Amino acid sequence: MAEPRYPLLVGLPGGRVQHAAKLAADGEHVFTLCRKRGRPDGDGGGLPYCRACANRPNPISQQAGR
């Protein structure tokens, strides 16, 4: 089954919202659906979901088996 390209839910340091994100190649940073980049500061639990992420559709990965 295909999964969204941004499968993680993260909070960024100093942020006030939770973002949909994917892990960067370096394994430490994430790229968010709303085009931010940073080192995650937990899952952002208890924070409202980012409006910019909500306004963008989370694309489905076209790669089988990943």
Q: What digits encode the pLDDT tens for the residues 4-20?
A: 999 999 999 999 999 99
Q: Could you give the CA distance from residue 49 to residue 63 in angstroms, rounded to a whole number?
A: 27
- Pinpoint the alpha helices (H) of 1-66: 51-54
pTM of the model: 0.87
Q: Which pair of structure tokens corresponds to residue 14?
A: 């100093």
pLDDT at 43: 93
Q: What digits encode the pLDDT tens for the residues 28-59?
A: 999 999 999 999 999 999 999 999 999 999 99
Residue 64 predicted with pLDDT over 70: no
Read off φ and ψ for residue 21, nearest 5 degrees. -145, 165
